Amino acid sequence: MELELERIQLNGYEMVLETTVFQEETLETIVPDACPDILRIVDTEGCAFLSGREASEGRAGFSGQVEAAVLYQPDGEEGIRRLTVTIPFSGSADGSRIDSRCRILSVPRVEGMETRILNPRKVLIRAGIAVELQVYIPIEDELCSGAADGGDGGVQQLCETCRSYHIACVQEKPFSVADDVTLPGSKPEAETLLKYRLGLACGEAKTIGNKLIFKGNVALQLLYQSRDGMLCDGLFELPFSQIMEVSNSGEESDSSVEVTAVRCTVSLEDGGDGRTIHVGLELLAQAVLFTEQSFPMLTDMYSVSYALETETRAQTLDHLIERSSKAPALREVIESGELAEEVVDAYLSVGRLEQRREEGHLVLEAEIRATALCRMSSGSLETVSKVFRVPCTLDLPDGCRCICACRCPEPLFAAPTTGGVEVRFAVEFRYLALQSVTAIGISAARLDMDAPRAQECQPSIVLRMVGKGERLWDIAKACGTTMADIRQANELEEDCLPDGQLLLIPRKRA
């Protein structure tokens, strides 16, 4: 007889791929006819924008573009000119479990750019691009929590409480931020915007019902040329607050929200006073919600009256070890061959992120490139940069899985110093550490009513000494009786047994 088992659903998502794709894109472009020849390249910087993602059998694809500004010194003219270029990129990552049902979270970034002069009217631009990919597949799983009815067959069942920290929901929402920002009176009026950079951060996120409320901030940094030829900077903050529809998650869920840019326009007001700047952003919020759930799992069965066969299945469950962030700060010097009198602009870019075990600890290490645009003692503008390897040590056990992201939360501080440029910055490592455990549960059970257990030859009472670590369940199953009968015969109140205790085991009668 097939026993009817009660089942509970475990629905959500499983991460089937986490990787970062690094690639290089190059583009040749010419100087527009209205612009003067290039004498010397001063700096090149770009922002990465996400265009699309697509999941197919065994593959996760992505596409986007880098909007770059090449700053150069024109031949025969004073000041700085800007050459704006768009560099498209696309790529993919393979995974055996990826299919069209999967959801892809993607965050592109520029890890470095450079421009080489081919001739005074033509340049070659190289962009190093890193695209963080996380791919999630929906799962509809179930496990057995107990037998619906087995009393007539003397069926005994062991249900143990298990817990799982799993992904309940993967969702995204596009939204826009538009505003006019004004240069403060302490800054000169702008004649030309040379370049901009974006810092996107989501701070607070909270689930209420089926809605995820998240708030964040866009840090916009500008470099512009004033009407008298000075290079000046500006820093503005554009806050945002959004509501996203989510499912399968409770109000105690932990959420991770990444905001990436899809499109950006930054322009001076036409016919204005050189202080009002229009900003338009199209952003994409990508959210992953984790929830911790406890549930009963049927882990063992037997019958005191008949032969009983079971089938088992291994269930992998994740336990949360730690979810936190660390932000080590650095103070370093970038050497320059010439004395720097002024730092005009400075920025950071994140490169590769590695993990390794070291003396019982997990060490995260990020490559961070610090770049400073300086006015030298000779009066020329020069770019100096250096790559720093920034470690972060975590006290996490062997065998745990660490999902980590690295960001630079604050603008780079840079100032001239003896021998070069002093830089100060913090690197934020946000990490989620999980430990996988395997639980063996009953998936099916059959009771053979034609095969009763032989009990005639068993003595009425057996004396049994408790072995080390032995449970009352183990003894009852081995002796073909029930835990209730053993407790009653020995006047036990708890299932926990001291090692070496002598127990009376009564025979179970049909």
pLDDT tier for residue 252 given thresholds of 50, 70 and 90: confident
Task: In whole angstroms, give the CA distance from residue 103 to residue 329.
Answer: 35
Q: Which residues contact 457 (CB under 8 A, 6 or more apart)?
A: none
What pLDDT was estimated at residue 129?
A: 98
Of 213, 111, 140, nearest to 171 by C-alpha is: 213
The answer to whether the CB of 224 falls within 8 A of the CB of 192 is: yes
Mean pLDDT, residues 400-411 taken together: 94
Q: How many other C-beta atoms can be found within 10 angstroms of the C-beta atom of residue 468?
A: 6
State pLDDT tens for residues 77-112: 888 999 999 999 999 999 999 999 999 999 999 999
What pLDDT was estimated at residue 41?
A: 97
The Cβ-side half-sphere exposure at 354, using a 13 Å CA radius, reads: 10
| C-alpha torsion angle, residues 407, 412, 418, 419 (rounded to 10) | 50
Task: In whole angstroms, give the CA distance from residue 452 to residue 447.
Answer: 10
Task: In whole angstroms, give the CA distance from residue 351 to residue 356.
Answer: 17
The helix (H) or strand (E) run that includes residue 429 is strand 428-452
What DSSP string runs through 450-476? EEEPP-TTS-SEEEEEPPTT--HHHHH
**In one letter, which amino acid is 97?**
R
pLDDT tier for residue 230 given thresholds of 50, 70 and 90: very high
Task: In whole angstroms, give the CA distance from residue 29 to residue 126.
Answer: 11
Q: Does the structure show a pLDDT above 80 at 496?
A: no
State pLDDT tens for residues 163-198: 999 999 999 999 999 999 999 999 999 999 999 999
Mean pLDDT, residues 264-274 taken together: 90
What pLDDT was estimated at residue 450?
A: 85
Residue 405 phi, psi dihedral angles, 5° rounding: -130, 150
Of 510, 478, 476, nearest to 490 by C-alpha is: 476
What pLDDT was estimated at residue 150?
A: 59
Structure tokens that stand for 61 in this block:
């694809």
Higher local confidence (pLDDT), 455 or 53: 53
Q: Radius of gyration (Cα) for the chain, nearest Å?
A: 32
What pLDDT was estimated at residue 66?
A: 98
Q: Does the structure show a pLDDT above 60 at 510?
A: no
What pLDDT was estimated at residue 497?
A: 78
What pLDDT was estimated at residue 491?
A: 85
Strand ranges (E), 183-328: 190-208, 211-226, 231-245, 254-268, 276-303, 306-326
The answer to whether the CB of 63 falls within 8 A of the CB of 90 is: yes
Mean pLDDT, residues 16-33 taken together: 96
Supply the angle between the helices 472-479 and 483-490 in degrees, to the nearest 10: 110
Residue spans of alpha helices (H) in 351-500: 472-479, 483-490
**In one letter, which amino acid is 175?**
F
What pLDDT was estimated at residue 151?
A: 61
Higher local confidence (pLDDT), 479 or 350: 350
Of 220, 231, 241, 257, nearest to 107 by C-alpha is: 257
State pLDDT tens for residues 270-317: 888 899 999 999 999 999 999 999 999 999 999 988 999 999 999 999
What pLDDT was estimated at residue 458?
A: 64
**In one letter, which amino acid is 126?**
R
Q: Does the structure show a pLDDT above 60 at 343?
A: yes
State pLDDT tens for residues 209-226: 899 999 999 999 999 999
Task: In whole angstroms, give the CA distance from residue 85 to residue 66.
Answer: 8
The answer to whether the CB of 408 falls within 8 A of the CB of 425 is: yes
pLDDT tier for residue 154 given thresholds of 50, 70 and 90: confident
- What 3 state SS string does 194-221 have? EEEEEEEEEEEEEEECCEEEEEEEEEEE
What mean pLDDT value characterizes the chain? 93
| Strand partners for 161 | 296
Of 301, 7, 9, nearest to 145 by C-alpha is: 7
**In one letter, which amino acid is 316?**
T
State pLDDT tens for residues 40-66: 999 999 999 999 999 999 999 999 999
